[in-house]
Amino acid sequence: MGKALIIGAGGVASVCIHKCCQNSDVFEEICIASRTKSKCDALKAKLDGGKTKISTAQVNADNVDELIALIESFRPDVVINLALPYQDLTIMDACLATKVNYVDTANYEPVDTAKFEYSWQWAYRERFEKAGITALLGSGFDPGVTGVFSAYAMKHQFDEINYIDILDCNAGDHGYPFATNFNPEINIREVSAKGSYIEDGKWVETEPMEIKRVYDFPEIGPKDMYLLHHEELESLALNIKGIKRIRFFMTFGQSYLTHLKCLENVGMTSIEPIEFEGKQIVPLQFLKAVLPDPASLGPRTKGKTNIGCIFIGKKDGKEKTYYLYNVCDHQECYREVGSQAISYTTGVPAMIGAAMLLTGKWNMPGVHNIEEFDPDPFMDALNQFGLPWKESFHPDLVE
């Protein structure tokens, strides 16, 4: 049916590529392009021989001209950006210049300020619309499936949704005292930032990890979770009718938090460059270099993730609660595609989002967040491609 150019060859890209190959009727041809070509070649070597034709390329995704040259030579129908959030705008620029659809899993963040928001990407709306191409923003799990869950709840269960709590639980144990499950630099920037949530149309800011709750997760049990700022809060508060409050919580174990505090206290999580032996280095980037590569956690990680949304709203004039979630097992993911569940729960929706555009099931020129599209075909595909969802009409609520 079509051709996809996948940029990045890390943990998430690896899963997405496996899944494109499982969906070869839609993904007839893919090109894996990243900064380090050997990683692309290793993925090709692992997956070659199936129905999906695979090629590889070297690209610096910070460079728009290089991206344009690559897109013009491969001529994809969609570009799936699975590099880092820093590359979102250059890849969008290249897609605009070549009139190709765009998909990503994380919103733009400038390298020198730990601040992420949609404004930079939303500024491309008119240009994408005029070019007749679609940018699908945030097609991972959170953001991503959490937005699809919200659109599905709105379409099938509610007349209005007043409260959403997004709960992200990773009960996996990799056996290291400290490691991150996806890119350490992006992960630490996210969790060491101030927390925030939206109430009555306004952002309320908290200190990092200030708000803690305990939640008894289905199929996992009680876990400590902390309120974080998260990017989908911004778009869901605009796109879901009737929202009064929306919050995001993520679970963290005590060992992770103690290590993080210590690293922060000694300055290792700073993104301010320092002079070291005559060279400028960024402490957080140095820390990334000494931490375990998230891709290496796959064989060691045991346990499950549970990510989902609790909705409170109204249906036919009555108050109603509804919980949609997915439970994913780290070891089952590893057996299937050689990756742990965090990469898996992101890579599968990235493939599905691209498939929605390739098949024409989703077609809305402009720059759009995932909850703006019809959730039904995406929900079906989640069941088909390894992330089946469950629902509960009487969930425990978060205080």
Residue in 324, 306, 307 with CA at minimum distance from that of residue 155: 324
**Which residue has the CB atom at the shortest distance from ligand NDP?**
10
280 Cβ contact partners less than 8 Å away, ≥ 6 residues apart:
273, 274
Residues contacting residue 277 through CB under 8 Å, at least 6 positions apart: none
Place of tokens 């997004």: 166
Residue 112 structure tokens: 């020198």
Torsion 14-15-20-22 (CA) sign: positive
Q: What residues make contact with ligand NDP under the rule CB under 6 A?
A: 8-13, 34-36, 39, 59-62, 82-85, 87, 105-106, 140-144, 182-183, 186, 294-295, 342, 346
Residue 54 and residue 37: Cα distance in Å, rounded? 13
Pick 142 or 234: Cβ nearer ligand NDP: 142
Contacts of 158 (CB under 8 A, 6+ apart): 311, 313, 314, 315, 320, 322
d(CA 105, CA 8): 12
How far apart CA 99 and CA 78 sit, in angstroms, is 10
Q: Which secondary-structure segment (H or E) carries 98? A: helix 88-98
Residue type, 253: G
Identify which of residues 42 and 268 has a Cβ nearer to ligand NDP in the complex.
42
User: What CA–CA distance (Å, rounded) separates 360 from 320?
Assistant: 34
> Can you tell me the distance from the alpha carbon of 22 to that of 50, in angstroms, rounded to the nearest whole number?
9
